[in-house]
Structure 1
Amino acid sequence: MSEASASPVFDRAAIAGVGLIGGSVALGLRQRLLARHVIGYDASVEVLREAEALGVVDEVQTSPGEWLRGCDLVVLAAPMSALAPLARALAPWLSPGALVTDVGSVKAGIAAELEALGVRGFVPGHPMAGSERGGVTHAHAGLLENAVWVLTPTDHTPLTALSRARALVEGLGAAPVVMPPDAHDALVATVSHLPYLVSLALTHMVARDERLSLLAAGGFRDLTRVASGDPRMSRDMVVENRAALRDALARFRRQLERLEADLEQPGELLMAASEGKRTRDSLPVVRRSLLPPKHDLVVAVPDKPNQIGVVTQALGAAGLNIKDIEVLAIREEGGALRLGLESAEDVRRAAALLRAAGFEVRGRG
């Protein structure tokens, strides 16, 4: 089977900013056979060399140009302070039919910027995923799996672009949630940006009294985890959302004042503690870091009868046990299957067997 026998969702995808999130998107596109060709664009030649060496992208580019006109997907994955300048640099080269999205944590500003630039196919996005360890060396497709990915269309976003963005998010294994940009920014001010400032305040208290650091155990480390993020990127994030964050800070101060008053009323404090426990215990937990290792193989299949049977029977005859199977995409020209196997060695054996049978495969052992 030739590589052209399956039809990815996108032909050529450009990832503008190949860091932790951009690199993870690129790997997801490649591993799940969502894009035929993935191009990495970054201001840093060193980052691009690393991304290419790690197999994160198929091609690298260091400046905007005609190569962008052939891309039907463009993902802006730069830090918040660089998103608008990046958009302005790329806009003249974008194909009118391209889906353009971003991964920034604040949406109103970049939504307005792309509308002003006349980019019709832009759908602002924010994958609620990340790590304290940045850079393309820590990128992995699993970072996006099961994550909430907020899409924030404006009144001018074409419905076809939104539909394609949802397909992209779902194809990467994430869960799309749609809301207006301003609503998103108000919500993340409370659940993301406010906790960062609280973490800073607590760590500053410890820094100014070395006795406190002797007693700062696991609970304190868990509470202040987000303070370990990249200082410049975190600064840019909260500054960009400062209006909504000021409102969240005002509400937080009122909560602290209420709890301070409850110190004189143990019954009220117990009620507050019980409400806090109920709320905390009801929060959904995405255990990406605690999941057992995945041994997956993605197989591109042509649009012919019984192709799933051909694949499964071939592996069964070789004594390979398929523990999980998922249809990732079905299109007129073909589709893709994700097969969950028992070990990295099984992935290697299955990949060799199916390649010999003419299938295109990509594995993660």
Structure 2
Amino acid sequence: MADFASPTPSPLAFQRAAIAGVGLIGGSVALGLRERGLARRVIGYDASMDVLREAEALGVVDEVQAAPGEWLRECDLVVLAAPMGALGPLAHELAPFLSPDALVTDVGSVKAGIAAELDALGVRGFVPGHPMAGSERGGVTHARAALLENAVWVLTPTEYTSLTALSRARQLVEALGAAPVVMPPEAHDSLVATVSHLPYLVSLALTHLVARDERLSLLAAGGFRDLTRVASGDPRMSRDMVVENREALREALARFRRGLERLEADLERPGDLLAAAAEGKRTRDSLPVVRRSLLPPRHDLVVAMPDRPNQIGAVTQALGEAGVNIKDIEVLAIREEGGALRLGLETAADVARAAALLRGAGYEVRGRG
């Protein structure tokens, strides 16, 4: 089992926290609780004994449980972290054993349905939540506390959510290093339909085009891979996500179709198409790399990478030795002649220092603070 140093307990510290569903997000929450001293004991519950054994062996949780029972009444924090299609059944399974004083939250990507379900079950300590974080690599093996850091974490209280529960949920999110944003469940679902679920369907459609003409796969370079990245997610989990939010997604699809039709018409109006392209560039360039919108901006440095071994390591080591803290790193392209890294740094001064250091080492760089 992994050996964690005993952190100083947080004033928020829960006595016993239950993570119901120990996958990528549930495991990351568990690690965040342990590493930040937010829970004295973290218990993993999952339908799969293999997952539980792995979580315990990796030191993600302190103990495991394979069935709901009286042990849940001792938990003052319960996090429902099952896949979207399993959240409702999981809630029904655990509800009879939950302490009325427990803070209960979830990490599902669609909120209206699970919020109504928990309200109907009478779980008054429930605060629906959605950390806007993830990875194409699922499972507890890839869980890490840092996955939640700097993420927007949406909380969607209902009319039955107590102010005390909402306040505790906000404190928990902040203590895990994320930024809480509060909005109604329906508003959340409408927004993620556009920024998350619609891109998934667009990625599917584009990959299907390539699948039906093998010549296209020969020309599908880094840009196409970046654009279709979300299609690499777990098919069943992704299916459940978009189906659960299908009404809001239909509205987003209708707006997207109208946008495509306008761009198609602009093919005959080069001036209008140029204006649309300029607007798209401004919007895309303004999106922060490290921190999601609603959080303070980061400062970017793009480094051209020659096609030689250990170039990423050389760059990060050089900046680390100079005391420049890299907050995020993104591979922008991989090609035979080399690629590029986008580094998210803390300040404009860090960008200037890093740029000077890397130029001195022979790298081509471009900064944006």
2:28 paired residue among 24, 27, 31: 24
Q: Deviations 1:37-65 (Å, cap 9, x if unpaired)?
A: 00000010000000000000001000000
Give 5+ residue unaligned stretches, structure 1: 294-321, 325-365
| Equivalent in the alignment of 1:149 | 153
Say yes or no: does 1:122 pair with 2:98.
Answer: no
Shift of 1:283: 1.3
2:184 paired residue among 180, 195, 198: 180
Partner-residue secondary structure (3-state), 1:177 = strand
Shift of 1:230: 0.2
Query: Following the alignment from structure 1 to structure 2, what is the Cα–Cα distance between the partners of residues 171 and 3?
Result: 13
Partner-residue secondary structure (3-state), 1:57 = coil
Say yes or no: does 1:207 pair with 2:223.
Answer: no
Using a 3 Å threshold, how does the CA distance of structure 1 residues 214 and 91 change in structure 2: closer, same or farther?
A: same
Give 5+ residue unaligned stretches, structure 2: 1-5, 293-311, 318-322, 326-369
| Equivalent in the alignment of 1:45 | 49
Say yes or no: does 1:36 pair with 2:4.
Answer: no
Q: Percent identity?
A: 84
1:90-129 matches, cutoff 5 A: 90-129=94-133
Contact 2:10–2:36 (Cα < 8 Å) also in 1: no
Contact 1:38–1:58 (Cα < 8 Å) also in 2: yes
1:80 paired residue among 71, 81, 84: 84
Query: Following the alignment from structure 2 to structure 1, what is the Cα–Cα distance between the partners of residues 30 and 7?
Result: 18
Using a 3 Å threshold, how does the CA distance of structure 1 residues 204 and 35 change in structure 2: closer, same or farther?
A: same
| Equivalent in the alignment of 1:341 | none
| Equivalent in the alignment of 2:239 | 235
Contact 2:8–2:37 (Cα < 8 Å) also in 1: no
Query: Following the alignment from structure 2 to structure 1, what is the Cα–Cα distance between the partners of residues 316 and 33?
Result: 22
Shift of 1:125: 0.2
Partner-residue secondary structure (3-state), 1:88 = helix
| Equivalent in the alignment of 2:225 | 221
Say yes or no: does 1:244 pair with 2:248.
Answer: yes
Amino acid paired to 2:152: V
Query: Following the alignment from structure 2 to structure 1, what is the Cα–Cα distance between the partners of residues 288 and 140?
Result: 28
Partner-residue secondary structure (3-state), 2:256 = helix
Question: Aligned residues, how many?
Answer: 294
Shift of 1:3: 8.9
Contact 2:31–2:61 (Cα < 8 Å) also in 1: yes
1:66 paired residue among 58, 67, 70: 70
| Equivalent in the alignment of 2:336 | none
| Equivalent in the alignment of 1:12 | 16
Contact 1:126–1:151 (Cα < 8 Å) also in 2: yes
Contact 1:14–1:68 (Cα < 8 Å) also in 2: yes
Shift of 1:6: 6.8
1:286 paired residue among 279, 290, 308: 290
Using a 3 Å threshold, how does the CA distance of structure 1 residues 189 and 6 change in structure 2: closer, same or farther?
A: closer
Query: Following the alignment from structure 2 to structure 1, what is the Cα–Cα distance between the partners of residues 270 and 7?
Result: 68
Bigger shift: 5-14 or 68-77? 5-14
Say yes or no: does 1:135 pair with 2:139.
Answer: yes
1:171 paired residue among 169, 175, 194: 175
Using a 3 Å threshold, how does the CA distance of structure 1 residues 231 and 66 change in structure 2: closer, same or farther?
A: same
| Equivalent in the alignment of 2:304 | none
Shift of 1:21: 0.2
Q: Deviations 1:87-119 (Å, cap 9, x if unpaired)?
A: 000000000000000000000000000000000
RCO greater where, 1 or 2, for CA within 8 Å and sep 6 or more?
1
Q: Deviations 1:109-164 (Å, cap 9, x if unpaired)?
A: 00000000000000000000000000000000000000000000011110000000
Query: Following the alignment from structure 2 to structure 1, what is the Cα–Cα distance between the partners of residues 192 and 38?
Result: 29
Partner-residue secondary structure (3-state), 2:109 = coil
| Equivalent in the alignment of 2:163 | 159
| Equivalent in the alignment of 1:331 | none
Query: Following the alignment from structure 2 to structure 1, what is the Cα–Cα distance between the partners of residues 85 and 20?
Result: 14
> What's the TM-score, normalizing by structure 2?
0.77
Contact 1:8–1:36 (Cα < 8 Å) also in 2: no
Using a 3 Å threshold, how does the CA distance of structure 1 residues 5 and 115 change in structure 2: closer, same or farther?
A: closer
Amino acid paired to 1:132: E
1:274 paired residue among 266, 273, 278: 278
Amino acid paired to 1:255: G
Contact 1:106–1:241 (Cα < 8 Å) also in 2: yes
Query: Following the alignment from structure 1 to structure 2, what is the Cα–Cα distance between the partners of residues 192 and 3?
Result: 35
Query: Following the alignment from structure 1 to structure 2, what is the Cα–Cα distance between the partners of residues 248 and 85?
Result: 28
Query: Following the alignment from structure 2 to structure 1, what is the Cα–Cα distance between the partners of residues 9 and 181?
Result: 32
